[in-house]
């Protein structure tokens, strides 16, 4: 259900951007969502469709790029990215240490908004 609050913020940002650019219509919203954020693209689209009714963003398509988490090894400093799907533990690919800090993969970003002028 946290997708609703996130989508409300996305709709506000999209509408503010479209108005600033004097758009007639929002066509596409490109999002980048980290795999660790636990946001579901299908729910974001559903909520967006509902929240955008009666606005210039009504009918806009949401495209989502999912990014894998990134880590930094606490032992050797190696930075690396790896999906956590089906993985029980993370180890550094260089030194094989199991002590790694999550540095990315929780984000949700509006990459760009495609509009018609």
Q: What is the pLDDT of residues 15-73, one digit of tens each?
A: 999 999 999 999 999 999 999 998 999 999 999 999 999 999 999 999 999 999 999 99
Q: Per-residue b/e over 59-80, b at no fewer than 16 CB within 10 Å?
A: ebebebeebbbbbbbeeeeeeb
pLDDT value of position 2: 83
Q: What is the CA radius of gyration of the chain?
A: 18
What does the pLDDT look like over 65-77, one tens digit per residue? 999 999 999 999 9
Q: List domains and CATH numbers for the chain.
A: 2-116 (3.30.2320.80)
Global pTM value? 0.83
């Amino acid at each position: 259900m946290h997708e609703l609050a996130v989508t409300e913020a996305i709709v506000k940002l999209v509408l503010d951007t479209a108005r600033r650019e004097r758009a007639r219509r929002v066509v596409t919203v490109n999002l980048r969502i980290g795999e660790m954020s636990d946001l579901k693209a299908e729910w974001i689209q559903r909520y967006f469709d509902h929240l955008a009714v009666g606005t210039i963003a009504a009918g806009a398509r949401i495209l989502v790029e999912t990014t894998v988490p990134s880590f930094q090894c606490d032992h050797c400093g190696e930075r690396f990215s790896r999906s956590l799907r089906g993985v029980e533990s993370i180890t550094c690919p260089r030194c094989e240490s199991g002590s790694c800090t999550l540095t990315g993969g929780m984000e949700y970003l509006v990459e760009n908004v495609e509009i018609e002028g």
